[in-house]
Amino acid sequence: MPVLSIHNATIVDQHNRQARGYAALTSASAPPPASRTIADQLGAGPEDSVLDLACGPGSLALRLAPHVREVTGLDLTPGMLEQARAAQEAQCATNVRWVWASLG
């Protein structure tokens, strides 16, 4: 991981500590049938690629995955991306990829 600003390093530290609990909270926050509604509200369909910025543990990205061609989840926090990868594996989603990036 590249050198981060003090601000971003603080964010990563805090979010890494909270990643597991936040993933559990967000995975239970909306029932799966809501995923089609979310895709509809976004105007996303089977030919679309979706970018989920600050994807956290990937809850939204994984809910959209069955309804679009591909999803890329981008986040600053490695711990959140680890949770996203674990959730992806459990869901067997093959059209999602996770990217670490710092935008500032």
Rounded to whole angstroms, the Cα distance separating 27 from 21 reads 10
Answer whether residue 1 is part of any domain: no
CATH code assigned at 52: 3.40.50.150
Answer whether residue 72 is part of any domain: yes
Rounded to whole angstroms, the Cα distance separating 65 from 12 reads 26
Rounded to whole angstroms, the Cα distance separating 89 from 38 reads 22
Answer whether residue 32 is part of any domain: yes
Answer whether residue 44 is part of any domain: yes
Rounded to whole angstroms, the Cα distance separating 76 from 41 reads 26
Note the pLDDT tens digit of each residue in 64-99. Answer: 999 999 999 999 999 999 999 999 999 999 999 999
Supply the Cα-derived Rg of the chain in whole angstroms.
Answer: 14
Answer whether residue 62 is part of any domain: yes
Domain count, the chain: 1
Rounded to whole angstroms, the Cα distance separating 52 from 16 reads 19
Note the pLDDT tens digit of each residue in 4-62. Answer: 788 777 777 777 777 787 677 777 555 566 667 888 999 999 999 999 999 999 999 99
User: β-strand 49-53 against 70-75: which pairing, if any?
Assistant: parallel
Answer whether residue 14 is part of any domain: yes
Answer whether residue 11 is part of any domain: yes
Rounded to whole angstroms, the Cα distance separating 18 from 37 reads 28
pTM to 2 decimals?
0.77
For residue 75, give its domain range.
6-100
